[in-house]
Structure 1
Amino acid sequence: MRRPVLLLVLPLLSMVGCAATGADPAVGPTASTNRAFDERATAVAAAWRPGPAWHDGYVPLQGPTVLTGDPRFTPHTETAFRAGWYRAQVAIPPTRVGAEIRFPDGRLTLPLVSAAEAYRQLDQGDPLPCPGRPKRPGRPTPGGPTVEPGPNGWATSPTETACLPLTVTGVTLGAVPVRTSRGEAQVPAWLFTVEELAAPVAQLAVAPTAVTPVPSAPPPTQPLPDGLVGAQDLAAVDGARLTVRLGVNACDTGITPLVSERPDVVIVGGAVTRSTGVCTAVLKLEPVTVTLAAPLGARPVLDVFSGTPLSIAPR
């Protein structure tokens, strides 16, 4: 789930610049900008041709690590969560099981990874040693991940918690809501109880061989017209309300979401006013909110720049 933002950013850096447009940030996009967006959205919608798995398989539209509630992060625990720093204080079962995904339109039985395999996906390594923290981890637990000494064995003053991992104290098999190509589904997940967080961390349990990658439509051959920007991901979906993060320049103003709603797809992007002065070409992710005429349901949300379905940002 973690940290591939740079890969998303690189194709967009060539889009940002300092040319002025005729848009007035006080009144929003010009008629020509809206027309350019509509033409681009029509081309994106026409190119969208997903395969059969989109309708009868499992195509997740968000990352494999999900918070099951408000974790009540501190700056230190959020850093550890985003980086994937964990230590286990319980034996984590290596047994594999099977379970079903419950979609709005049916059910699908798929193989799952074991809790131990899910933990290995969740745990992305160790933070650098800090004063009072051992430089070497403890001995591995048979059949499970590396288990390090408990918090009573280490100094855990506020100045040291910034470089400590999250402590896993339990694991159970459950299910969490996940946005998929077939709408919001209840997907089996291993729920890891974390001592420092107020809500369990879920790692989706579907075996990688049973996951169908998100398809991509051929992007329009023409470059994105100046004054239009693409979307990076979905920050949230709540019925007909979408929060989208646009990729804009640090000096852009008049940032306005644009949406084209169709029966089978929704295309999103944005309009901006470019700076006329010198501006460093640094990508900024700007959240914007749009309200559709009808709940999103199972419709994919496509980026007007690339034609690719947007996934929910890691949380």
Structure 2
Amino acid sequence: MRNSTVRLLCVVTALAAAAATGCGEERRPHGTTRVGDGERPGGTQERARRVAEAWDGSTAADVYRRGFYPMADVVETPENAFRNGADKEAYLTRNFGLRGELPASDRDEGEVAWADGRSLTLPMMDARETLAKLDRDSGGGPELVVTGARLGTMKLVTSRGPATVPAWLFTLDGYDTPLKRVALDPSEKPESPIGPAADSPSNEQWPLQQFVRTSRDGRSVTVLAGHGSCDKGPAADVLETDGSVVLSGWIRDPSDGDCTADLRFTEVTVKLAEPVGDRVLLDAFTGRPVPYGDHAGGMPDEG
């Protein structure tokens, strides 16, 4: 794994989906909830309102609702993984080796099939391309050995609800069940109708690192947020409308003293007034959807 000053998080995520909300409905804030200790900075809610107003009913929101955007890890580990610490380290660092042949695919496209009957056809990766998405470590250390693969499917939670998607099922040496990886890339994200809050983050407005999960009932959202070594960690406010859930990240009680320059990541959970459903989950600082996807290995900050 590439050297880094930060430790990343590997999580399996889940999202509870609800019925679709029309893009043209009146925007109606449902209220806000503050998470974390310390004095809440001013200005976070005004920025969140501007982001919500820009997105709600926009072309970007319509494009987002019609696309394929995973809201869970696109990798599913074998049952009872992992058998030892070395294999776990190999997975967290994404260090894979290949011993054997990978099959060719006779399909260039794959279909995302949602539970409500909707579907979307997208370009599909072959087994070798998909394995390359998994194998990120160019160094030494323990590795998981892939001995073969076959094309199958996996269940995945998306921004439009649960779906069945094409996946490559990789056989791993020493495991009876496969490691699955989605064979599709997400749809291209639409251009945001609003720019970032500033050229660089501040303690009062801080970008979120990535989406982690929601609760089973969809009434809380957990994200990964960055912070420094001399503060009390990150926090987040939320502004809900009919079309969006806007999260505003900020830093609790920052210190002006001497601190190391490393960036730490901590999970922040925000309670919602209503299930997130198919509302667009937005980062107030960037003005864009909260990042998601194939989570890299590592552990969160324990502070």
**TM-score normalised over the length of structure 2:** 0.70
Residues 82 and 304 (structure 1), Cα distance of their counterparts in 2 relative to 1, 3 Å cut:
same
User: Aligned equivalents of 2:157 and 2:214: distance in 1?
Assistant: 9
1-structure distance, mates of 2:92, 2:219: 29
Shift >6 Å, 4+ stretches: 2-7
Do the aligned partners of residues 221 and 127 (structure 1) sit closer, same or farther apart at CA in structure 2, a change above 3 Å counting? closer
Corresponding residue of 1:241: 220
Partners in 2 of 1:41 and 1:85 — Cα distance? 40
Aligned in 2, Cα 1:312/1:237: closer, same or farther, shift over 3 Å? Answer: farther
Q: Which residue in 2 is equivalent to 1:80?
A: 90
Query: Are the counterparts in 1 of residues 103 and 150 from structure 2 also a CA contact under 8 Å?
Result: no
Tell whether the 8 Å contact from 2:229 to 2:261 is kept in structure 1 after alignment. Answer: yes
Displacement of 1:254 after TM fit?
A: 6.3
Q: CA RMSD in A?
A: 3.4
SS in 2 for 1:253: coil
Residue equivalent to 1:176: 154
Q: Which of 226, 229, 234 is the matching residue for 2:206?
A: 229
1:114 aligns with 2:126: yes
CA contact (8 A) 1:171 1:192 kept: yes
Pair 1:301 & 2:276 matched:
no
Query: Any stretches of 5+ residues in structure 1 without a counterpart?
Result: 10-24, 129-162
| Structure 2 CA distance for partners of 1:301 and 1:175, relative to 1, 3 Å | same
> 1:268 offset after TM fit, Å?
1.3
Q: Describe the SS at the equivalent of 1:95.
A: coil
Give me the TM-score of the superposition, normalised by structure 1: 0.68
Look up the SS of the partner of 2:289 in the other structure: coil
User: Which residue identity lines up with residue 72 of structure 1 in the other structure?
Assistant: F
Deviations 1:238-294 (A, max 9, x none): 322211111212111264332112211111133411114222333211111122122
> More helix per residue: 1 or 2?
1
Q: Does 1:253 align with 2:232?
A: yes
1:277 and 2:254 are equivalent in the alignment: no
The CA distance in 2 between the partners of 1:273 and 1:83, in whole Å, is: 33
Q: Distance in 2 between matches of 1:215 and 1:233?
A: 18
Mapping of residues 1-315 of structure 1, within 5 Å: 28-30=38-40, 33=41, 35-48=42-55, 49=58, 50=60, 52-61=62-71, 64-67=74-77, 71-72=81-82, 74-97=84-107, 98-105=109-116, 106-124=118-136, 127-128=139-140, 163-196=141-174, 200-206=178-184, 211-217=186-192, 218-222=194-198, 226-238=203-215, 239-253=218-232, 255-271=234-250, 272-312=252-292, 314=295
Q: Which amino acid aligns with 2:104?
A: P
Q: Secondary structure at the match of 1:289?
A: strand
Q: Percent identity?
A: 29
Equivalent pairs counted in the alignment come to: 258
Computing the radius of gyration over CA atoms, which structure comes out larger, 1 or 2?
1
Q: Following the alignment from structure 2 to structure 1, what is the Cα–Cα distance between the partners of residues 36 and 114?
A: 44
C-alpha distance in structure 2 between counterparts of 1:282 and 1:219, whole Å: 27
